[in-house]
Structure 1
Amino acid sequence: MTQELLDQALVEEATKKSGLIWVRGAVTPALPGPAQEGPTQALWHVWHDGAACVVGDGPGEQPLPGLVDGGFAVVTVRSKDKGGRLVSWSAAVVELAENTPAWEAAVGELKGKRLNAHDGEAMPERWARECRVLRLEPTGGTAELPEGSLAERPLPTPATTRLPIPAALPRLLMKRRKRR
Structure 2
Amino acid sequence: MDRTPAAATADDFLDQALLEEAAKKSGLLWVRADGEAQARPLWHAWYDGAVVVVGDGGEQPLHGLAPGSGAVVTVRSKDKGGRLTGWAAAVSELAPNSDAWLGAVEELKGKRLNAPDTDTIADRWARECRVLRLAPVGALGERPGAMPDGSHAAEPMPTPATTRRPIPAGLPRLLFKRR
Tell me which stretches of 4 or more aligned residues in structure 1 moved more than 3 Å.
160-175
Query: Equivalent residue for 1:43?
Result: 42
**1:96–1:133 CA contact under 8 A, matched in 2:** yes
Q: CA shift at 1:165, angstroms?
A: 9.8
Amino acid at match of 2:40: Q
Q: Structure 1: how far apart are the matches of 2:117 and 2:171?
A: 33
Amino acid at match of 2:47: H
Cα 1:76–1:46, aligned 2, differ >3 Å: closer, same or farther?
same
Query: Equivalent residue for 1:32?
Result: none
Amino acid at match of 1:95: E
Matched, 1:105 2:103: yes
Q: CA shift at 1:174, angstroms?
A: 4.3
With the length of structure 1 as denominator, give the TM-score of the two structures: 0.81
Q: Structure 2: how far apart are the matches of 1:22 and 1:42?
A: 4
**1:22–1:76 CA contact under 8 A, matched in 2:** yes
Q: Structure 2: how far apart are the matches of 1:170 and 1:110?
A: 45
Aligned residues: 166
Matched, 1:147 2:149: yes
Q: Which moved more, 1:127-136 or 1:142-151?
A: 142-151
Q: CA shift at 1:171, angstroms?
A: 6.5
Amino acid at match of 1:117: A
Identity %: 61
Q: Which runs of 5+ in 2 are unaligned?
A: 1-8
Q: Structure 2: how far apart are the matches of 1:161 and 1:2?
A: 50
**1:18–1:77 CA contact under 8 A, matched in 2:** yes
Cα 1:119–1:5, aligned 2, differ >3 Å: closer, same or farther?
same
Q: CA shift at 1:152, angstroms?
A: 1.6
Matched, 1:10 2:9: no
SS of residue in 1 equivalent to 2:39: strand
Summarize deviations over 1:106-129 as a string: whole Å, max 9, x none.
111111110011222122121111
With the length of structure 2 as denominator, give the TM-score of the two structures: 0.81
Q: Structure 2: how far apart are the matches of 1:92 and 1:102?
A: 16
Q: Structure 2: how far apart are the matches of 1:130 and 1:72?
A: 23
Matched, 1:25 2:33: yes
Q: Which runs of 5+ in 1 are unaligned?
A: 27-35
